[in-house]
Structure 1
Amino acid sequence: MLKKLHQCQWNKPPLHFPILSSLLFPKPSSSVSAAMLHHDHDHDHDQDHQLKTFAFGRFVGPAPRLYPPAELNRKISQFLLSHVLAGNRSFKDLHSLIYQIVQQEGSGSAPSICELLLNNFHGWDSNIVVWDMLAFAYSRFELVQDALFVLAKMKDLNLRASIQTYNSLLHNLRHTDIMWDVRNEIRDSGTPENEYTNSILIHGLCEQSRLQDAVSFLQISEGKDTGLSVVSFNTIMTRFCKLGYLDVAKSFFCMMLKCGLLPDSYSYNILIHGLCVAGSMEEALEFKNDMEKHGVEPDIVTYNILAKGFHLLGLMGGAWKVIQDMLLKGFNPDVVTYTILMCGHCQMGNIEEGLKLREEMLSRRFQLSIISYSVLLSCLCKSARFEEALILLYEMEALGLKPDVISYSILIHGLCKKGEVHRAILLYEEMCLRRICPNYFTHGAILLGICEKGNISEARKYFDNLITSDLVEDIVLYNIMMGGYVKLGNIAEAVQLYQKLTEKKITPSIVTFNTLIHGFCKSNKLEEAWRLLDTIKLHGLDPSVVTYTTLMNAYCEVGNIDGMLELLWEMEAKAVMPTRVTYTVVIKGLCKQWKLQESVKLLEDMRAKGLTPDQITYNTIIQCFCKARDLSKAFQLHDEMLLHNLEPSPVTYNVLINGLCVYGDLKDADKLLLSLEDQKVSLTKVAYTTIVKAHCAKGDVSRAIIFFHQMVEKGFKISIKDYSAVINRLCKRCLINEAKYFFCMMLSDGISPDQEICEVMLNAFHQQGDLYSVFELLAEMIKCGLLCD
């Protein structure tokens, strides 16, 4: 690509405007005064148009203003002093004085100032310095038209402006093609250019996205005294890095060395930043080491860039190593360093470290930004620490930071997500009282919160109020409301809302159609769901991976595996990449047809495409192999999970234990559970109830009692359902005394029996002929209100 860029020939500046050049820096003309008198003061023109309003003589601007005598005398005194300072070469004081004059006079004052100078100081020896400083001051205040007026007057007087003034003007015009007219005037005036002149031109070309022209301009500058500079190379390297062409940027770095220019810290930082953004941290660290080898010391910016790179990858350990290295080199962390670390820890869920860094920043009197606070607020809300989040919100105001719509929206969204919609609405009202306009995200958070609480009628009232009040008309709100109806199985209302938004000519999004498809699939209306694929295309949208996966899952659930696979093929034909969820759905479908080897093959295909199977994917296949009584393969898949650093979930172990209990050896199930306990693997109550029920079913009551007590000791909440499952199985095995043991244990735990369990026990006692236990149980039932006296 670099070779191709270098093929562009640079015979003249791009988009050269000779006519415009004569307008900007014209020769004197007698038509000036007439043009000035008839000038129309239209301030609605944009800057480019105004810059071109030069007549053949001078800038067509406002007529010189008339100063009151006292003001005129003051102005003459100021310029008298400026000429004295210029004559004495007191340039610092002169600079301050001219800046003060320009700041006082403001935009459009150049004609008046120039007339004052012409009438009172014409021919003074120090005149050229004052005029040049005046043009420079106007340019630095970005009063470009005034600066151009002064330069046109200087040309009339044969006063040559300095390259510093021209460079400042070039910098202000770098976004426009007019910069080439200024450059032509520099050459025509004979003012010697310096390295910054070409650097500004290259910067302008890069900002105008004319990178090929910038490279060609750099090429033709080779060999000239003022042609090449480190700044020029840095500008081009920055642009290539932003576009993602790191190799091209590195080639310019090498070219800089070949030209005898020594890269500075900024040069290295450009490449290090580009590599960090691309995730190439090793190479970025190599560049930092190379920097030190060549005698260029990394600065605080270098270390912050590297820390940010590690943060973007979620490697906060690497970020801390960079900070430690920085401290060893004698650098103190600045506000950027702290912000990077704070954001990193918060995004990793380590809110405590984030809050500690905030305290340290405050103790060092660093000003936290709204972004820093927003990150902390988000992290606290995710942890449901809303009281602390509210304290932070009001702390912002105490420190002079005004909470914005994002700060409030984060809190409102967090409260709604946790079901505290009432508090969210109070915060919303407070926000409105402070004249902070809520956006669709704020409204969406409240609407979503009400929907998730299941209060669909309240949600609809809120939604209708927004729509009828014209407060907001956004497809996102329609999608949320439709999603609320679909969640409750009310597809009819969702369809009505869809029809309403089409009537209002609001463009539906792919989320709109995905919501409807999910609703139809949930209601077993697969034909309607399928027809929506054509509707999606009619709206100029493409079905997403969610669209296809939702439909595939629906076909899988009804056993239409051919339909599911047809969707998969269509999806791949349209270059829609399947996700992990998509593959899990397909695996589930294959498992339903007992195509176990094909499902295992699909795991390999996932990895080949860069997708990592998760616990749900593996659990689906493991369960199928357990049902197929191939427990060795099920455990092999479990080992494969560990091999790929995928931690089996409690569900994985529930599936394996259940497989051993139902299809394998119960002793192996015991060993597995005990082994997992020794390894302190987190298990759920299901693992214990499964093994207890299995021992009860096989009549091994002593083992059942052991595991039942272990379940109690683990702190799991034991319900009537758990006791009922055990007692039922024992009664079926005619182990009445053992059933009675669990029944008494249930009563001693303060759990009252229900009708079903009492009837099971009564039948068991009756068959055993244990009338005493029958009467005792009847009394208990009367006590519990299960039997009338």
Structure 2
Amino acid sequence: MLNHIHQWRTLRFPLKTLILNPLTSLIFTKPSPANPTDPVLEIITAFKRNHLFDSHCVLSLVPSLNSLQVDQILDNLGVEDPESAIKFFNLLRNEYEFRHSWVSQFVIAHVLARKRRLKELRSFLQQMLQEEGSGSAPSLSELLWNRFRAWESSGVVWDMLAFVYSRSEMVHDALFVLAKMKDLKIQASILTYNSLLYNLRHTGIMWDVYDEIKASRTPQSEHTNSILIDGLCRQSLLQEAVAFLRENEGKHFGPCVASFNTLMLRCCKMGYVDVAKSFFCMMFKYGLLPDAYSYNILIHGLCIAGSMEEALEFSDDMERHGVEPDVVTYNILAKGFRLLGMMNGAWKIIRKMLLNGLNPDTVTYTILICGHCQTGNIEEGFKLREEMLSQGFQLNDISYSVLLSSLCKMGRVGEALSLLHEMESIGLKPDLITYSILIHGLCKQGDVQKAIQLYNKMCLKRIFPNAHAHSAILLGLSEKGTLLEARNFFDALTKGDLMEDIILYNIMIYRYAKLDKIGESVQLYKQIIEKGITLSIVTFNSLIYGFCKCRKLAEARTWLDTIKAHGLVPNAATYTTLMNALCEEGNICGMFEVLNEMEARVVQPTNVTYTVIIKGLCKQKEATRISPIT
């Protein structure tokens, strides 16, 4: 039989040609005029007799069917013999790659709904909506109402359709189906409403859905309130969330652990750990027992706040209340110690975790690797990497980035590049951070050409460099390459309005100033003004430095007024640069004038400032005047 089917498909049924032919609505070839048999009746009869799969005669009728005839067969079998309808539908779709019409698909949907095979119904509709896409709700709803209103379990199909639209994040389609259901007086389930609430929790529309739930008197679940509270918290409406929690006190589905967890999580994210603790205590007042997630939220908030002692107390309290700390709990505590640079404390937590029969996971190893690299102990980080690999774990992007960064800081860029190749060989894709770290390391080492090669590789992978990578290469070219190379790279980046980064301009302005090309520096300053890019004090400090280097001190002095005109405040470097130039000219009085202005503006002198003053006084053989200014 399989050989017969295969021969029919390859010799008599050019499937792709028929599907792609826009001039025909037939999926299968038309029956021969010489064949008087009614294929629809024949196949329906055969299915009812369970003869389809062992009848060469019936199989030979399949190629003669068109979409309308398939609809007729499924329409009949869907009522008379539902199981046969499903078998025939799957036969055409799986064996012959037949593209069923909406009518046929809704027949099967109603069959599955009637048999309460809801999981299959959901999967079936998901596949259907993936093919049809966003905006299909009006057409599907019209067909569903006009063709299937009298079918048993039609309400279940409507509800599942709205639910699947929502779960597929086609919210507008879901809302359309829901509105249609309301017009037709078909009740939506709380699962569908909850799904919509979840998708709309970032917006004010969630209240419209909630009002609809109350108006329809749909029995709510405990998740309904939790979703609303989560939505209010995400919209930074914490007071409204608390008010809503209190409003539902005493109702059938009043406050639940999930609602309190949501409030605690939002408070901790906003830095209100004490408020989160009050919600934690309130749970007991309502007769609720915090779960592991509740404790983990609070412990994490305390760790981020640096309150490790209190975090450890809550972990002990967790065990006293019969809630077992999990790997997440121990990872949170270990990370807390790591953030404080206390790796001994982190290791104590890991030992306690092992004593309680829990094994470290990828997150645990990542925390420890980050901690040791953070404290400069990169060798210990690599030991952990080897242990991690021996345990069958694979390093993640974070672990690799931390190791790469540590190697680059130590000048071991070659080892960092080897680690990059290892990362790629195990299937991990380096991201923007990874490439930026390596590019910066190569440029700092003076290997700008290799950095550019890595930069180009990143661009080919459609990972677009950030300002950190751009400035690293530009700085490298300006220091290790030629000024022409640096300018060409700069022009390529700033052409038009593609890159408006003041850091790039500052690099070039300073480089021109250092090479006594103050005219080019001023031109770039004018370009910044024309493009409307926000200036920084570094821009003016470089210009003042350039004019001082060219011994144009009067012009350099006027830039102080320009700084103020742009709403910026000169810093210690600004004044010290001017003072040093005046000192070199032997103008000690001018130097002290700048110092007096600096003190009047409450700008704290630096060690460099005092060094310049001492140098000037010594140069004039007036070292005795040092004491009045110290």
Superposition TM-score, scaled by structure 1 size:
0.59
Partner residue of 1:132 out of 159, 171, 191 = 159
Instruction: Report the secondary structure of 2:529's partner residue.
Output: helix
Specify the alignment match of 1:379 in structure 2: 406
1:401 aligns with 2:446: no
C-alpha separation between the residues in 1 aligned to 2:318 and 2:571? Answer: 46
C-alpha separation between the residues in 2 aligned to 1:417 and 1:406? Answer: 16
C-alpha separation between the residues in 2 aligned to 1:245 and 1:111? Answer: 46
- Amino acid across the alignment from 2:503: V
Q: Check conservation: 1:482, 1:493, Cα contact below 8 A.
A: yes
- Residue 448 of structure 1: how far off its partner (Å): 1.0
- Residue 168 of structure 1: how far off its partner (Å): 0.9
1:303 aligns with 2:334: no
Instruction: Report the secondary structure of 1:308's partner residue.
Output: helix
C-alpha separation between the residues in 1 aligned to 2:207 and 2:241? Answer: 13
Q: 1:156 to 1:456 in 2, by over 3 A?
A: closer
Residue correspondence of structure 1 range 289-328 to structure 2 within 5 A: 289-328=316-355
Partner residue of 1:411 out of 438, 445, 453 = 438
C-alpha separation between the residues in 1 aligned to 2:558 and 2:348? Answer: 56
C-alpha separation between the residues in 2 aligned to 1:549 and 1:252? Answer: 54
C-alpha separation between the residues in 2 aligned to 1:583 and 1:291? Answer: 53
Q: Check conservation: 1:202, 1:232, Cα contact below 8 A.
A: yes
- Residue 166 of structure 1: how far off its partner (Å): 0.9
Q: Check conservation: 1:555, 1:563, Cα contact below 8 A.
A: no
- Amino acid across the alignment from 1:407: T
Superimposed CA distance per residue, residues 728-755 of structure 1 (whole angstroms, 9 cap, x where no aligned partner): xxxxxxxxxxxxxxxxxxxxxxxxxxxx
Specify the alignment match of 1:170 in structure 2: 197
- Residue 504 of structure 1: how far off its partner (Å): 5.0
- Residue 228 of structure 1: how far off its partner (Å): 1.0
C-alpha separation between the residues in 1 aligned to 2:494 and 2:106? Answer: 63
C-alpha separation between the residues in 1 aligned to 2:291 and 2:582? Answer: 62
Partner residue of 1:570 out of 590, 594, 601 = 601
Superimposed CA distance per residue, residues 290-314 of structure 1 (whole angstroms, 9 cap, x where no aligned partner): 2222222222222222222222222
Q: Check conservation: 2:71, 2:104, Cα contact below 8 A.
A: no
Superimposed CA distance per residue, residues 69-91 of structure 1 (whole angstroms, 9 cap, x where no aligned partner): 53684555655555455445444
Specify the alignment match of 2:70 in structure 1: 70
C-alpha separation between the residues in 1 aligned to 2:313 and 2:575? Answer: 45
1:189 aligns with 2:210: no
- Segments of 5+ residues of structure 1 without an aligned counterpart are 1-66, 573-577, 600-789
Q: Check conservation: 2:439, 2:472, Cα contact below 8 A.
A: yes
Q: 1:158 to 1:426 in 2, by over 3 A?
A: closer
- Residue 437 of structure 1: how far off its partner (Å): 4.2
Superimposed CA distance per residue, residues 112-144 of structure 1 (whole angstroms, 9 cap, x where no aligned partner): 444444455435553433332332222211222
- Amino acid across the alignment from 1:194: S
Partner residue of 1:582 out of 583, 602, 606 = 606
Partner residue of 2:371 out of 336, 344, 367 = 344
Superposition TM-score, scaled by structure 2 size:
0.73
Superimposed CA distance per residue, residues 28-51 of structure 1 (whole angstroms, 9 cap, x where no aligned partner): xxxxxxxxxxxxxxxxxxxxxxxx
C-alpha separation between the residues in 2 aligned to 1:143 and 1:562? Answer: 69
Superimposed CA distance per residue, residues 707-742 of structure 1 (whole angstroms, 9 cap, x where no aligned partner): xxxxxxxxxxxxxxxxxxxxxxxxxxxxxxxxxxxx
Specify the alignment match of 1:234 in structure 2: 261
Residue correspondence of structure 1 range 737-748 to structure 2 within 5 A: none
Partner residue of 1:287 out of 296, 303, 314 = 314
Specify the alignment match of 1:745 in structure 2: none
C-alpha separation between the residues in 2 aligned to 1:225 and 1:545? Answer: 66
- Identical columns (%): 63
Instruction: Report the secondary structure of 1:392's partner residue.
Output: helix
Instruction: Report the secondary structure of 2:606's partner residue.
Output: helix
- Residue 426 of structure 1: how far off its partner (Å): 3.6
Residue correspondence of structure 1 range 215-230 to structure 2 within 5 A: 215-230=242-257
- Residue 416 of structure 1: how far off its partner (Å): 1.4
Residue correspondence of structure 1 range 27-42 to structure 2 within 5 A: none
- Amino acid across the alignment from 2:371: G
Larger-Rg structure: 1
- Residue 431 of structure 1: how far off its partner (Å): 4.1
C-alpha separation between the residues in 2 aligned to 1:160 and 1:464? Answer: 63
Residue correspondence of structure 1 range 517-532 to structure 2 within 5 A: 517-519=544-546, 528-532=555-559
Q: 1:422 to 1:164 in 2, by over 3 A?
A: closer
C-alpha separation between the residues in 1 aligned to 2:249 and 2:153? Answer: 37
Superimposed CA distance per residue, residues 663-718 of structure 1 (whole angstroms, 9 cap, x where no aligned partner): xxxxxxxxxxxxxxxxxxxxxxxxxxxxxxxxxxxxxxxxxxxxxxxxxxxxxxxx
Q: Check conservation: 1:517, 1:547, Cα contact below 8 A.
A: yes
Q: Check conservation: 1:482, 1:515, Cα contact below 8 A.
A: yes
Q: Check conservation: 2:576, 2:612, Cα contact below 8 A.
A: no
- Residue 244 of structure 1: how far off its partner (Å): 1.8
C-alpha separation between the residues in 2 aligned to 1:479 and 1:147? Answer: 52
Residue correspondence of structure 1 range 289-688 to structure 2 within 5 A: 289-432=316-459, 434=461, 436-453=463-480, 455-456=482-483, 458-460=485-487, 462-464=489-491, 466-467=493-494, 472-487=499-514, 493-503=520-530, 505-519=532-546, 528-544=555-571, 547=574, 560=591, 563-564=594-595, 566-571=597-602, 582=606, 585=609
Q: Check conservation: 2:474, 2:489, Cα contact below 8 A.
A: yes
Specify the alignment match of 2:187 in structure 1: 160
Q: 1:532 to 1:142 in 2, by over 3 A?
A: same
Q: 1:436 to 1:267 in 2, by over 3 A?
A: closer
Instruction: Report the secondary structure of 2:601's partner residue.
Output: helix
Q: Check conservation: 1:249, 1:271, Cα contact below 8 A.
A: yes
Residue correspondence of structure 1 range 265-284 to structure 2 within 5 A: 265-284=292-311
Residue correspondence of structure 1 range 713-752 to structure 2 within 5 A: none
Superimposed CA distance per residue, residues 465-522 of structure 1 (whole angstroms, 9 cap, x where no aligned partner): 5556877453212211222244456656544543443355543222212333445566
Q: 1:571 to 1:551 in 2, by over 3 A?
A: farther
- Segments of 5+ residues of structure 2 without an aligned counterpart are 1-66, 75-88, 90-101, 618-622
Q: 1:137 to 1:503 in 2, by over 3 A?
A: closer
1:204 aligns with 2:231: yes
- Amino acid across the alignment from 2:214: R
Q: Check conservation: 2:579, 2:612, Cα contact below 8 A.
A: no
Aligned residues: 527
Q: Check conservation: 1:565, 1:586, Cα contact below 8 A.
A: no
Q: Check conservation: 2:544, 2:556, Cα contact below 8 A.
A: yes
- Amino acid across the alignment from 1:396: M
- Amino acid across the alignment from 1:222: E
Q: 1:471 to 1:228 in 2, by over 3 A?
A: closer
- Residue 562 of structure 1: how far off its partner (Å): 7.2
Superimposed CA distance per residue, residues 327-385 of structure 1 (whole angstroms, 9 cap, x where no aligned partner): 22222222222222222323333332333333444444544443433332222222222
Specify the alignment match of 1:106 in structure 2: 133
Superimposed CA distance per residue, residues 520-543 of structure 1 (whole angstroms, 9 cap, x where no aligned partner): 566776665554333222123344
C-alpha separation between the residues in 1 aligned to 2:131 and 2:484? Answer: 62
- Residue 550 of structure 1: how far off its partner (Å): 5.8
Q: 1:517 to 1:218 in 2, by over 3 A?
A: farther
C-alpha separation between the residues in 1 aligned to 2:570 and 2:312? Answer: 42
- Residue 167 of structure 1: how far off its partner (Å): 0.8
C-alpha separation between the residues in 1 aligned to 2:111 and 2:495? Answer: 71
Q: Check conservation: 1:548, 1:568, Cα contact below 8 A.
A: no
